[in-house]
Amino acid sequence: MDRVELGGLVTANPVWVGSSELTMTLAGITACVDAGAGAVVAKSVNESAAARRQLDIADYAFVAADGSVRPPGAGMPGDGLLNRSGLAQVDLDDWLGVLADANAYGSARGCPVLGSITLGDPEAAARIGRAMASVVPAVELNIGAPHGREARAVRQLTEVDGVTDAVRVVRSAVDVPLFVKLPGQASDVVALARAARAAGADAVGLVGRYPGFLPDLDGGAVLGSWGAWSSPGCLPMSLYWVSKAFRQLDVPLIGTNGARTAKDVLRFLASGARAVEVVTALWIGGPAALRVMVDGVSGIGEDFVGSALAGTREYGDVPPPPSPAWLPYTARWTSSGR
């Protein structure tokens, strides 16, 4: 896909860079633009000084498949990422200047730069969104931040009424496309997406990272606390909600959490996403990883979006296979002692 229209925003390709410390400065954002991103979501802000102070205790650990932990800067493909983070440490007026400069740079190269708000107080988010809308072409409202379970300065909304109220308040103040990022840890993420759409979201992002915890087995825990978790293993979990939302709702979808390769991006698209935000792949592979993903989805047609759903059945409609899939496993166990 070499051109994407999503919720009123047009981008050159579906591979977007998500909000993170990599997009917290003008230099970081422009590096993503130069690497070929379809769009860049700037680091989130909100009204809380406490959320900004939390960045002082940010930490990152890459976890290999065998459970060994690598320090920041040493991540390898296939690693999971457990981290603790905060929001950009900048006054809003200064941040608006950065966003304006970043968007001028990106727009000239076909790459829009979005503002991002991690929800604290909905009324404050509306005020920030109104200000951002004067300098960016779209705003992302993150109500799925995993740190919302640990940090009082941000919120993770997992109930329909809360999503409806927050999105409606921010929507009333923002006159550019509003994209709402939802959590994956909720009883019914499709219901949250439906509520966000009904309250005015132009597109929905599915899904935020999961809360995580990992003992170090030396009497403590990796990072010394709880954190947020993402890994290639999260990909099927994210695609579950993307595919369900695509089948049940009429809302443009943005995939997040689990895409590390071009094949992963394609799987998001085949599940119904029209764009995919990536972050951890860039922590590990740098800007070159982004270019590989962009090249890997070039030429994909519009009809590819949601194509995996055409052959997907509900459980009750799946015909039995010729031989039970569990049979080889039971045979291995029952014959092992003979």
Total residues belonging to the chain: 338
- Return left, alpha or beta for 224; rule: phi > 0 is left, psi -120 to 50 is alpha, else beta: left
**Among the listed ranges 21-25, 41-45, 56-60, which one has the minimum average pLDDT value?**
56-60
pLDDT score, position 332: 77
Q: For residue 287, name the pLDDT band (cuts at 50, 70, 90).
A: confident
Cβ 3 vs Cβ 12: under 8 Å: yes
Q: For residue 53, name the pLDDT band (cuts at 50, 70, 90).
A: confident
The residue among 52, 2, 61 whose CA lies nearest residue 222 is: 61
The residue among 153, 131, 170 whose CA lies nearest residue 48 is: 153
CA dist 328 → 82, 323, 333 (Å): 36, 10, 9
Considering the chain, what is the average pLDDT of its residues? 93
Residue pointed to by tokens 């003008």: 26
For the cut 60, the answer to whether the pLDDT of residue 92 exceeds it is yes
pLDDT score, position 156: 86
pLDDT score, position 335: 66
For the cut 60, the answer to whether the pLDDT of residue 337 exceeds it is no
CATH number where 102 lies = 3.20.20.70
pLDDT tens sequence across 121-134: 999 999 999 999 99
pLDDT score, position 146: 81
**How many domains would you assign to the chain?**
1
Residue 312, C-beta contacts closer than 8 angstroms, at least 6 positions apart: 243
For the cut 60, the answer to whether the pLDDT of residue 336 exceeds it is no
For the cut 90, the answer to whether the pLDDT of residue 71 exceeds it is no
Nearest-angstrom CA–CA distance, 280 and 83: 11
Mean pLDDT of 62-80: 92
Q: pLDDT > 90: what percent of the chain?
A: 79
Mean pLDDT of 94-108: 97
Cβ 133 vs Cβ 175: under 8 Å: yes
State both tokens at 104: 């001028």
pLDDT score, position 5: 94
Q: For residue 325, name the pLDDT band (cuts at 50, 70, 90).
A: confident
CA dist 153 → 59, 148, 150 (Å): 18, 8, 9
Mean pLDDT of 214-231: 93
**Buried/exposed code over 225-261 (b: 16+ C-beta within 10 A; e: otherwise):** ebbbbbbbebbeebbebbbbbbeebebbbbbbbbbbb
Residue pointed to by tokens 């941040």: 95
Nearest-angstrom CA–CA distance, 85 and 41: 16
pLDDT score, position 150: 74
Q: For residue 330, name the pLDDT band (cuts at 50, 70, 90).
A: confident
pLDDT tens sequence across 165-218: 999 999 999 999 999 999 998 889 999 999 999 999 999 999 999 999 999 988
Q: Provide the residue range defining the domain that includes 129.
A: 4-335
Cβ 17 vs Cβ 34: under 8 Å: no
Mean pLDDT of 128-157: 88
Cβ 186 vs Cβ 192: under 8 Å: yes
Cβ 280 vs Cβ 218: under 8 Å: no
CB atoms within 10 A of CB 52: 18
pLDDT tens sequence across 245-256: 999 999 999 999
Nearest-angstrom CA–CA distance, 179 and 240: 20
Chain-centre distance of CA 289, in angstroms?
A: 17
- The backbone torsions φ and ψ at residue 296, rounded to the nearest 5 degrees and listed phi first, read -70, -15
CA dist 280 → 49, 120, 137, 209 (Å): 26, 25, 25, 11
pLDDT score, position 1: 67
